[in-house]
Amino acid sequence: MKAARMKQKLILSALAGAIVVPGSVITVKAADSSEENVPVIPVAGIESIVKESYQTNVKENINLYLVQNSEGEYLNMAFSNVSDYAYIRSAPDEASDWVGKLYQNSAAEVLEYNEGWTKIRSGSVEGYVPADCLLTGSSAEAHATEYEQNQATVNADLLNVRDGQGTDAGILTQITAGQQYEVTGEAVNGWYPVKVGETNGWVCGDYIDVQKQYAYAESKEEEEQRIAREEAAKQAEEARRQQEALEAAAIKDQAAGGQAVIDYACQFIGNPYVWGGTSLTEGADCSGFVQSVYANFGISLPRTTWDMESVGTAVNYEDAIPGDIVLYDGHVGLYMGDGNIVNAMNESDGIGICSATYAPIITVRRVL
């Protein structure tokens, strides 16, 4: 019996180097086939031992170790072979629950084969996919470089995704710190093309970290979170666009109202300048002219230029529209557009037109 136990031990050791499909049963004899009445030993009970050996000695069994890592070793990787995605299921059965999705161009670690199914780990997801959804062995090795991707990780709190290179380009959407997105092409002048959901745009390279890596599966929970983020970003973008549209409409209305002010003021070009005057026909000084023009539209303004410096809302000169009040040190005029103002200039020139930048501008005020 001692010899029989030794032979059984040798047989089990030999089996530890073989590939065994989980769930199958292999039988071996306790000694040589020449012995009579030798009991048959089922080895389904050693499946866990064989499976562990399979996990640790795959290199000796199948040509699965393909992609070289930085340490020079090879990993048992496979790549997705799907046009869109394959469900990763909790068991090797189409009826089992799905726990994630293995998308096109994704990588996975092979854990075991199981009668037409392959158990994989990809990203945070572990489960089963049909074997024909994967490239393994020499096929995976031949296509490995096709699955490499440049991934951009956002390192800014909030980053604009634009429709071109440069801060002058329009904003398509916004992404936040820690999120990762595929870089879809080569950088141009420090700007990288990325894909955010269904949106293709450009981000500034100063605010991302770019690394070459593989894409992996997405769990059901991760998909739900991603969809929620994308929907929130979509809603925020829609709200931003609506706000911009409202502001543009308001400015358009203001410009129309401001142009009416300018059209009215220009009727009095050539009339006299009178210090302290407020008459558009008999004579007015600079502040009296502006005050009287706006009074025609029901808007009451202070009498002096110093008091006018605080009326309405301040705007940048670059954003000035017709009707805005342009104030200088001791002088005021009405912006006409095209870099000009209409104003009560002086006693020799009366009410007329001159450059809006003839002197340093203190402030531009919008009262419409």
This prediction's pTM: 0.51
Q: What's residue 255's pLDDT?
A: 84
CB 27 within 8 A of CB 46: no
Q: What's residue 75's pLDDT?
A: 57
Q: Is 176 helix (H, G, I), strand (E, B) or coil?
A: strand
CB 50 within 8 A of CB 114: no
176: Cβ contacts below 8 Å, ≥ 6 apart: 154, 157, 158, 159
Let me know if 239 is exposed, middle or buried by CB neighbors in 10 A (0-12, 13-18, 19+): exposed
**CA–centroid distance for 50 within its chain:** 46
Nearest CA-CA partner of 339 in 322, 362, 327, 352: 322
Nearest CA-CA partner of 181 in 168, 173, 166, 193: 193
Tokens found for residue 254: 């203001």
CB 300 within 8 A of CB 349: no
d(CA 281, CA 268): 7
Q: Which residue has the tokens 């979170």?
A: 225
Strands 107-114 and 117-122: antiparallel
Nearest CA-CA partner of 172 in 194, 152, 200, 191: 200
Q: Which residue has the tokens 């050539």?
A: 270
What is the mean pLDDT, run by run of 10 residues, along the chain of 368 residues? Answer: 36 33 34 39 39 39 42 66 96 96 94 92 96 90 86 93 95 92 92 92 95 90 94 92 91 89 97 97 97 96 96 96 96 97 97 97 96
Q: Is 9 helix (H, G, I), strand (E, B) or coil?
A: helix
Q: What's residue 48's pLDDT?
A: 43
H/E stretch holding 286 reads helix 286-295
Domains and CATH numbers, the chain: 2-58 (no CATH), 62-135 (2.30.30.40), 151-208 (2.30.30.40), 261-366 (3.90.1720.10)
CA 261 vs CA 70, 300, 318: distances in Å: 72, 14, 20
Nearest CA-CA partner of 196 in 232, 222, 172: 172
Q: 104-128 burial string, b = 16+ CB within 10 Å, else e?
A: eebbbbbbbbbeebbbbebbebbbb
Nearest CA-CA partner of 122 in 228, 255, 216, 4: 216
**CA–centroid distance for 190 within its chain:** 17
205: Cβ contacts below 8 Å, ≥ 6 apart: 187, 190, 191, 192
CB 209 within 8 A of CB 152: yes
d(CA 134, CA 139): 9
